[in-house]
Amino acid sequence: MTKPKNTRARPQLAGKKKPSILVLHGPNLNLLGTREPEIYGSESLEDINRRLSLTGQRLGAQVETFQSNHEGALIERVHAAKLQRSSFIIINPAGLTHTSVSLRDALVAVKIPFIEVHLSNIYSRESFRHHSYFSDVAIGTISGLGSSGYDLALQFALQPRP
C-alpha cells in the first residue's frame, strides 16, 4: 500500500489563476531600517516589500504585503486571505511569535499554507524568544537570514508543484 502524499507540505499553485501570495509583517516591523539595525539590518520594510512585489511580478504572481502593530488587524487580514483565495502566506509574526495563540488559530483555520520568517535567529537570542506558536503548523521556518528569508520563502511558495 502506498503512503498518501502530504499535500499540506507542498501546496498546488498550478492552474490558470495567478498565484496570490500574502506577506504579513507583525508589530514593530514598520520600524525596520532604524530599529536595532545590528539585529534587524538597515533595510526598510518598504524596501523589502518593493523587492518582493517586483519578484512576484517577474515570476507571474501577485504579492500583497500588510503590516500591523495590532494582533486583531493581522487576524482579520488572515481571514480576508481565505475569502480572496490567497495561495500562500509568508508571515513574520515578530513579537507575536511568542504570545499569540489567536493568530496561530486564524492561520490554522483558513488552511492556507504558510512559512514563518524571522530576520534574526530567534534561537540565539533571549530564552523567551525560543518558543514559537507557529512553527509546528507552518510548512517551514526561516530564521536568522535577514531579509533574504522573505525572498527564500517567496521562491518556495512559487515553485512549480508536481
Spell out the domain ranges in the chain.
20-157
Q: CA 128, CA 73: separation in Å to the nearest integer?
A: 24
* Residue pointed to by grid coordinates 501577485: 62
Instruction: For residue 131, name the pLDDT band (cuts at 50, 70, 90).
Output: confident
Examine the pLDDT at 80 and tell me if it is beyond 80: yes
φ, ψ for residue 24 (rounded to 5)? -105, 135
Q: For residue 148, give the C-alpha cell.
A: 533574504
DSSP string computed for 56-104:
HHHTT-EEEEEE-S-HHHHHHHHHHHHHTT-SEEEEE-GGGGGT-HHHH
Q: What's the angle, vertex CA 43, arms to CA 23 and CA 69, rounded to 5? A: 50
Mean pLDDT of all residues in 51-69: 97
- What's the confidence (pLDDT) of residue 4? 43
Examine the pLDDT at 35 and tell me if it is beyond 90: no
- What's the confidence (pLDDT) of residue 104? 98
Instruction: Evaluate whether 135 touches 116 at the Cβ level (below 8 Å).
Output: yes
Least confidently predicted of 9-13, 105-109, 131-135: 9-13
Q: CA 138, CA 134: separation in Å to the nearest integer?
A: 6
Segment 96-112, tens digit of pLDDT: 999 899 999 999 999 99
- What's the confidence (pLDDT) of residue 16? 58
- What's the confidence (pLDDT) of residue 38? 80
- Please give the class, per CATH, of domain 20-157: alpha beta
Detail the DSSP E strand segments found in 87-159.
88-92, 114-118, 140-143
User: Which amino acid would we find at residue 93?
Assistant: P
The residues carrying an active-site annotation are 40, 118
